Structure 1
Amino acid sequence: MKIGVIGYGLRIREVIRHIKLIEPAVRIAGIVDVRDFPELKDEDGRAIPIFSAASDMLAAQKLDGIMIGTRCSEHTDYALVVLPYGIPLYMEKPVSTSMEKWKELYKAAAIYNNTPVVVSHPLRLTSIVQKVKAIVAAGDIGDIAHVQAANNVPYGGVYYHAWYRDDSITGGMFLQKATHDFDYLTDIIGCRPERVCAVASKQVFKGNKPAGLKCKDCEDNRTCEESTVGTTEEENWPYCCFAEDTGNEDSGSALVEYENGVHLSYTQNFIVRRGAGTRGARVVGYKGTIDFDFITGIIKVIHHHKDQEDIYRFGAGDGHFGGDANLAANFIGVMKGKENSISTLQEGLRSALLCLKAKESAQTKNYQEIVEL
């Protein structure tokens, strides 16, 4: 099978690695990227064509699949180009970074609804989430009544040292991180979100250092706790995270109400380090509570009315706790025409809409209704 790649960055290369581990015969038939690459060759030593526009690649190559891995603000633009061709599409999250682009993509998704799309929301496909869903489905905790979730990110520096610091590209941290969490949590709850209120703040990664300052050029780079000078991160995380041009909030929280009355409390921050990192949730029912954490790989089921706790342990998994491999396998099946997407564009749109409305709520200090067009 031949795939075309739009935006040949680190993230999409990681997904392609998983695809080739499963299906070694897959080949990259063309790349569209804003950067100038030295000659790239496939496993057979053949040069991979580089195109200046997606339309040129689509005209020149017969493709079995297309993958969009550009920077976030361009995801929608390229999807609008690709969808009319009907070729299976793998699309990085978030699917849109503004309401204007979200509306365009929503309309295109309805028009080209026969184009299969797999959105990069791998957490829903992890063994942990699948096990939690199975426990809920078995009735072990009763109906879900309340969900408490947290994402304390121990590698938050990437969002202030690297290109991610530009929130005109990322759309802010709800769209960057909560889009994953809102997706898998909504999948567990199994219901449509109706409204959201949220707050966000920037308490740490702010300052008055000059715009564009790099750590290597800063006089404080030997004393600053965030300096990347002399570390393995220096090349990819070069900028000062206390400069005046650093965007992105460094913490945020949201309260989401679902149409069945369940409410989700969610909080994220990018300040913690080392062992303070957590990512997971507490799912509460009348009969029991499920606690799980992706980082520890542990699920604990606490039974409320009997003296019993069930513990499940999972390995760390390769790439998003094992979700990347499962998502890659699904995309292969979609390209072969043997499977339907298990992370659809409609679900990607719903997650992005929830994030956009959370961002709007934090800015306006008002509840926002999650009303699809």
Structure 2
Amino acid sequence: MKELIKSGIIGELKTGWVLHSVGAGSDWYFHDWHGSMKNTGGLLLQKGSHDLDIINWVVDSKVKRVLAFGSQDVFGGDKPNELVCQECEDKSICSEAIVDRNISWIRPDGKSAEVLYNQWRNKCVYRKEVDVLDNHLLLLQYENEVKVSYMECHYTPEDNREYIFIGTKGKLKFEDAKDLITVQLRRGIYDREEKITYENLQMSEGHGGGDKHIIDDFISALKTGEQPQVGGEAGLQAIEIGITAHEAIDFENTRSL
């Protein structure tokens, strides 16, 4: 995606739209300590920072203004903080209840093992202490005048990342769940049908194969003394956007970075 946009295939980048659908949101963020703002600082930091990092990388600029909205629409409530799914009288009818189920886990040595899924994440997602927001909408304006909207929702039916970037010559769309990039070109009002697709982009390793590349790049930087593809400042910038966005939500205004 980065290489295609940098190549100029869609012209000069002008705007973008990113949606992160987190269908497994309650599994990973609301059944345990992640559900509390005092522990995470909010899910824009815990989860959204990864997307913001990629958006910054693709846009190749720094955010100068943030407008954000967010709310707690589904998770949190008035259940006791001590309540766990296994002891809840509603566990048989609750769609978010953690049930005992075994999954096949591939160990580091390559062997398969049966493990009990998420047995340590079993607190009620509707307990009182849950105060992290379960959806966010950000409008980002960059120093190079590119504008991007970002939405993160933790109660969607599917897990997927959708990235759309629009330039002066066309549009690029990446769908993580389909493992697909589509480029649509617009040469004029009557010439805008050409599509180019790129499939089978992922690898089977952790995080779609990205972990290995990050580790290899870091080790190479240590050995050669050369700078990695992306430095630590990029991570800090993503976190800063998340923090600033939460401030924009709390104070209901536009924030500058």
TM-score by length of 2: 0.88
1:339 Cα shift? 3.8
The corresponding residue for 2:197 is 311
Q: Give the Cα–Cα distance (whole angstroms) in 2 for the partners of residues 218 and 147 of structure 1.
A: 44
**Distance apart, 1:334 and its partner CA:** 2.7
* Aligned equivalent of 1:86: none
In 2, Cα distance between the equivalents of 1:236 and 1:339? 41
Q: Does 1:359 align with 2:246?
A: yes
For the 8 Å contact 2:25–2:155, the answer to whether it is kept is: yes
RMSD (Å), alpha carbons: 1.4
Q: Distance in 2 between matches of 1:239 and 1:140?
A: 48
**The residue matched to 1:223 in structure 2 has which SS?**
coil
- Structure 2 counterpart of 1:173: 43
Superposition map of 1:59-78 within 5 A? none
Q: Is the 8 A contact 1:330 1:342 kept in 2?
A: yes
Equivalent residue number for residue 142 of structure 1: 11
Within the candidate set 149, 154, 158, 1:270 is matched to 154
Distance in 2 (alpha carbons) for counterparts of 1:282 and 1:221: 39
Aligned identity (percent) is 28
Q: Is the Cα contact below 8 Å between 1:212 and 1:245 reproduced in 2?
A: no
Q: Which runs of 5+ in 1 are unaligned?
A: 1-131
Residue identity opposite 2:170 in structure 1 = G
Q: Partners of 1:207 and 1:279 in 2: how far apart?
A: 28
* Post-superposition offset of 1:294: 1.9
What does the per-residue CA deviation read over 1:47-66, in whole Å, with 9 as the maximum and x for residues that have no partner? xxxxxxxxxxxxxxxxxxxx
2:166 maps to what in 1?
A: 284
Is this contact kept in 2: 1:253–1:267, CA < 8 A? yes
Q: Distance in 1 between matches of 2:252 and 2:5?
A: 34
Between the aligned partners of 2:86 and 2:159, the Cα distance in structure 1 is 27
What SS is found at the alignment partner of 2:30?
A: helix
SS at match of 1:161: coil
Does structure 1 residue 160 correspond to structure 2 residue 30? yes
> Is 1:233 matched with 2:117?
yes
Q: 1:201 to 1:351 in 2, by over 3 A?
A: same
Q: Which runs of 4+ in 1 moved over 3 A?
A: none
Aligned-pair distance for 1:285? 1.0
SS of the residue aligned with 2:79? coil
CA contact (8 A) 1:333 1:340 kept: no
**Partner residue, 1:28:** none
Q: Report the Cα offset of residue 299 of structure 1.
A: 0.2
Aligned to 2:25, the other structure's residue is in SS state coil
Bigger fraction of residues in strand: 2
1:318-333 maps to which residues of 2 (within 5 A)? 318-333=205-220
Change (3 A) 1:207 1:233: farther
SS of the counterpart of 1:227? coil
Q: TM-score, normalised to structure 1's length?
A: 0.61
Aligned to 1:296: 178
CA distance in 2: counterparts of 1:215 and 1:360, whole angstroms: 33
Aligned-residue offset at 1:154: 1.5
1:245 matches 2:115:
no
Write the distance in 2 (CA, Å) between the matches of 1:339 and 1:272: 42
The separation in 2 between residues aligned to 1:341 and 1:217, in whole angstroms, is 49
- Compute the displacement of 1:315 (Å): 4.1
Cα distance in structure 2, aligned partners of 1:319 and 1:192: 29
- The structural deviation recorded for 1:164 is 1.5
CA distances 1:19-47 after superposition (whole Å, capped 9, x unpaired): xxxxxxxxxxxxxxxxxxxxxxxxxxxxx
Check 1:138–1:234 CA distance in 2 against 1; reply closer, same or farther (3 A cut).
closer
Structure 2 residue identity aligned to 1:160: F
Tell me by how many angstroms 1:338 deviates. Answer: 4.6
Q: How many angstroms apart in 1 are the aligned matches of 2:29 and 2:219?
A: 31
Contact 2:81 2:123 in 1 (8 A): no
Per-residue CA deviation, residues 261-301 of structure 1 (Å, 9 max, x unaligned), is 1110010110013xx33202110012110000222210000
Confirm or deny: 8 A CA contact 2:75 2:125 kept in the other structure: yes
**Using CA pairs below 8 Å that are at least 6 residues apart, which structure has the higher relative contact order?**
2
Counterpart of 1:256 in structure 2 is 140
Determine the C-alpha separation between the residues in 2 that align with 1:171 and 1:343. Answer: 24
Matching residue's letter, 2:74:
V
